[in-house]
Amino acid sequence: MRLPGFGLFCSILCLISAGAWAQLGLEAPSQSFEGQNVSAVSLIANPHRDLRPLIPLVTQKTGEPYSQERIETSRQALQDAGHFPKVQVSIVPDVTGLRVNFVLEPPFYLGVVKFPGAESLFSYTRLLQVTELADQDPYDASRVPIAENALADFLHRNGYFQGSVHGESAIDDEHQLVNVNFRIEPGEQAKISSVQIQGPNDAESRQLLRSMSLSGHGSPAGS
């Protein structure tokens, strides 16, 4: 029996999935990456599954040149040993090299990301941008501590030198999602007590301060 509208629903679901992967800027394995530095290798799967026994099967190592042959050998070994329906490989070009993701299907996906403690200080969009996490991205636990460090650096650059960040992941089995809370304690924002510019006259000094968006005493550090 064919349910009314079922075909349309499946088509819409496929379009959403394709759009989500395109949004991530992921690329398929390719000979064009041959020889480039691999900055990270991740196994992405159901977060309940212990992936440690599978790590030795990955012959493409972090810090070594990209090898299409080792990528394919690793992919097949993971699929055979783990009895996964399918193992996909995605490549994420990064400033430090290539991030290689082995997606062991079916994975869980990133759900809601929140920033309690900082959403009144910065826009949600800016905070999410700092983490480099994308909606509907396959959930990769190894990215959470990286995002923590990025948020902490962001706080420090904006004058919150005592700020701290702690990421907490909550698994939603019903929807196969993982929601992440980055609990942020910014602390007090440092203030600039005084700014002195030596060399130019007073008028030029005031103009330089204005060009740097600093009024001197009491300006937030990092502003």
How far apart (Å, rounded) are the C-alpha atoms in residues 159 and 139? 31
Per residue in 121-140, pLDDT (tens digit) is 999 999 999 999 987 889 99
Residue 192 confidence (pLDDT) = 72
Whether the pTM exceeds 0.85: the reply is no
Complete domains list, the chain, with CATH:
27-104 (3.10.20.310), 113-185 (3.10.20.310), 191-220 (no CATH)
CA–chain centroid gap for 215, Å, is 36
Per residue in 109-119, pLDDT (tens digit) is 999 999 999 99
Which phi-psi region, left, alpha or beta, contains residue 32 (left: φ > 0; alpha: ψ -120 to 50)? alpha
